Amino acid sequence: MMKLPDHIQLREVGPRDGLQNEAKPVPTADKIRWIDQLAAAGPTYIEATSFVSPRWIPQLSDAAAVMSGIARRPGVTYAALVPNMKGLHYALAAGIDEAAVFLSASETHNRSNVNKSVAETLPQLREVAEGALQAGRTVRGYISTVFGCPFEGSVPLTDICRLIEAYLEMGVREISLGDTIGVANPKQVETVLAYLLARYPADVLALHFHDTRGMALANVLVSMEMGITRFDAAAGGLGGCPYAPGASGNLASEDLVHCLHAMGVATGVDLEQLLAAAAYIQEKIERPYPASHMLASWR
């Protein structure tokens, strides 16, 4: 019989990971309104933006304006992706609650993403983590290409462990393991998690699945059975990775919440409000949102 947790935590990453790959510019006011809609739906964690160079991700060049414009809700962590100390300076000034740092498990993808080797990236991330912690913020860490790299294929689990240990040594509170191009399958997820959970507690790990081949929810179910209770998702299923050929959207937050609620797993999220927020951003990027998705339950 399937053994599931009573409650999971949704990490809503749509405003950052969802929008960063969208070519159509979204006005700052629309981003602010969307984030406020998402917060009203109930998730306690929203990755609102990224303090990266506008040359690399023009869509998120308004990071400071977005952070200053949102209506902060008590109990919600408003995080931002922070690649370096310059980004951290601006992020702290903008009032982020948490800094998210990132690197890839595979050398080729890391170089494609940040133009550095993994060994060159780690000291930079350590500096950001130390700066954020000294400023009284928490730090979250991403590891991309955990389940496969578009350039190198499979990634050794020993490499994943080395990066987890580096993050923990930096003081990172939670580590998100990314299926960057959506190649993971339930059996692989079981194998990877069995290896990692024999070495690290479940409460420091989160899973970040892309839905390239429609496998994301199946992978979530396996992860929950193994004790994982934190999952990244993006309202509207937005996202992808600009440096990972073949990557498609993230697991849709509304699909995750609907599935969990149907199985009796609590999320603390109001599905109707989440669906409305998903439809709102789809309209802004001029992508039709299926009418069937607006039905939170059969009537």
Report the catalytic residues: 241
Q: Which residues of 17-39 are buried (b: 16+ CB within 10 A; e: fewer)?
A: bbbbbbeeebebeebbbbbbbbb
Measure CA 109 to chain center: 17
Element (H, E) at 94: helix 85-94
Quick one: which H or E segment has residue 109? helix 107-114
Q: Which residue has the tokens 């309202």?
A: 235
Q: If DSSP codes are grouped into helix, strand and coil, which group holds residue 58?
A: helix
CA-closest candidate to residue 212, choices 241, 182, 234: 182
Q: Is the dihedral of CA 12, 14, 16, 18 positive or negative?
A: positive
The three-state secondary structure class of 164 is helix
